[in-house]
Structure 1
Amino acid sequence: MTELVRLSKRMSELGLSSRREADEWIARGWVRVDGQVISELGSKVLPHQKITVERQAAAEQSKRVTVLINKPMGYVSGQAEDGYTPAVALIKAENRWADDPSPETFHPTQLRSLVPAGRLDIDSVGLLILTQDGRVAKTLIGQDTAIEKEYLVRVQYTKEGKLPESDLKKLCFGLWMDGKPLLAAKVRWQNDDQLSFTLREGKKRQIRRMCDMVGLKVIGLKRVRIGKVKLGDLPVGQWRYLRPDEQF
């Protein structure tokens, strides 16, 4: 027998919206199942049933913005903590990159529900994504995401000589963290003291902890790419809109 599934969950699976968005739209009467308006939260559907959304929902979704920021050191990704300022505080007209090609006009309403899709440690810099769009957040931080994130990591070897090739291979595959094996990573030398890390997961302080396991001390860490979206020439402390042609 085919099992019933929550309508909001099914909409999220189909990429129509995030679950939270779906619940908002259902409450507003903007969702139809097989042509019938469904306005009761918690309603369930069968996987084969046709789900459509009203034009108002699509119009509201299209107004939601996603921004890229080059996070400086000393800013936290999410909520303000221990006296540190959250990165969203940098999203204001005067910090917008002068070379941003987007025709989008900045308005303070864009700060409403603008949340980080992923985290970047307080002492790390580089690409951070903030979005109002639940679909973008799900793509980047959903449970089954396979989006790559690339980092440039300046390191210092704390033992004699150079990092053995066997330990470089361990960084690529073979390390365990929090009782589980880490997914395979791509790690290679960029120059004498800088490594490039490409990961498909993001455990707390993962790169620093991985480096520590093989005797490397992290001196600096910068995220330069998330999926197909690159930090590029975006200056530190400035931001720009995600372009319509950019896909993670």
Structure 2
Amino acid sequence: MTEPVRLSKRMSELGLCSRREADEWIARGWVRVDGKVVSELGSKVLPHQRVTVERQAAAEQARRVTVLLHKPIGYVSGQAEDGYQPAVVLITPDRRWTEDKTSTQFHPSQLRSLVPAGRLDIDSNGLLVLTQDGRIAKQLIGEDSGIEKEYLVRVKYTKPGRLPEADLKLLNHGLSLDGKKLRPAKVRWQNEDQLSFILKEGKKRQIRRMCEAVGLKVLGLKRIRIGRVTLGNLPQGQWRYLGPDESF
């Protein structure tokens, strides 16, 4: 017999919204199960039951923005810490890239619930995604996310000679962090002191720790791509909106 699941969890599984959004919509009476409004938080449904949302929910979701920021070194991705400012303070009208082609107008309400979908260390720069849309957050940082993230990493080998081929293979697959095997990565030399890393996960300080394990010191780290969305020519410290024709 199929077990009932929480309505908010089922809505997230169906890709309608995030669980947090689902709870908001349920409380507002914007969710129907088999045509009947369900407004009680914690309600459960069976997988075969039909879940639909009212037009107001879709309209509110359409107003939610996703921002692409070229985060400079010295800003933290999320909450302020140790006297360092969060990257969201850079999302101001005067820092919007003049070449942003979207027609979206900036409004202070867009800063409400604008959260980073993934981290980028304080001493790294490059592409950081901030979003109000729970579906995008789930896509980028959900447990089953397989979206590629690409980095350019400037390194210095701390042992005599060059990095052995066997250690480059280890970076691609075979290393463990915190007692868990890492997913396969794609790591190759770009030039004599720069590596390209393509990962499908994002453990804390993962690239730095991977490099350390094979005797490489990271001198600079820049994220240039998340899925199909690239940093491109976006200047450091500036941002733009994710376009309607773009997806990760």
Same fold (TM over 0.5): yes
Equivalent position of 2:163 in the other structure: 163
Equivalent position of 1:120 in the other structure: 120
Aligned residues: 248
Equivalent position of 2:90 in the other structure: 90
Distance in 2, Cα, partners of 1:133 & 1:176: 32
The runs of 5 or more residues in structure 2 that have no matched partner are none
**How far is the alpha carbon of 1:10 from its aligned partner?**
0.2
Equivalent position of 1:241 in the other structure: 241
Equivalent position of 2:133 in the other structure: 133
Equivalent position of 1:207 in the other structure: 207
**How far is the alpha carbon of 1:193 from its aligned partner?**
0.3
Equivalent position of 1:191 in the other structure: 191
**How far is the alpha carbon of 1:65 from its aligned partner?**
0.2
Which 4+ stretches in 1 moved above 6 angstroms? none
The runs of 5 or more residues in structure 1 that have no matched partner are none
**How far is the alpha carbon of 1:97 from its aligned partner?**
0.2
Distance in 1, Cα, partners of 2:209 & 2:4: 42
Distance in 1, Cα, partners of 2:39 & 2:175: 48
Aligned pairs for 1:11-22 within 5 A:
11-22=11-22
Equivalent position of 1:219 in the other structure: 219
CA-based RMSD: 0.4
**How far is the alpha carbon of 1:137 from its aligned partner?**
0.4
Equivalent position of 2:62 in the other structure: 62
Equivalent position of 2:45 in the other structure: 45
**How far is the alpha carbon of 1:30 from its aligned partner?**
0.3
1:149-204 superposed Cα distances (whole Å, 9 cap, x missing partner): 00000000000110010000000000111001110000000001000000011110
Identical-pair percentage: 77
For residue 19 of structure 1, what is the amino acid of its counterpart? R
For residue 166 of structure 1, what is the amino acid of its counterpart? A
Q: TM-score, normalization: structure 2?
A: 1.00
Equivalent position of 2:77 in the other structure: 77
Distance in 2, Cα, partners of 1:191 & 1:170: 19
Distance in 2, Cα, partners of 1:147 & 1:237: 24
Q: TM-score, normalization: structure 1?
A: 1.00
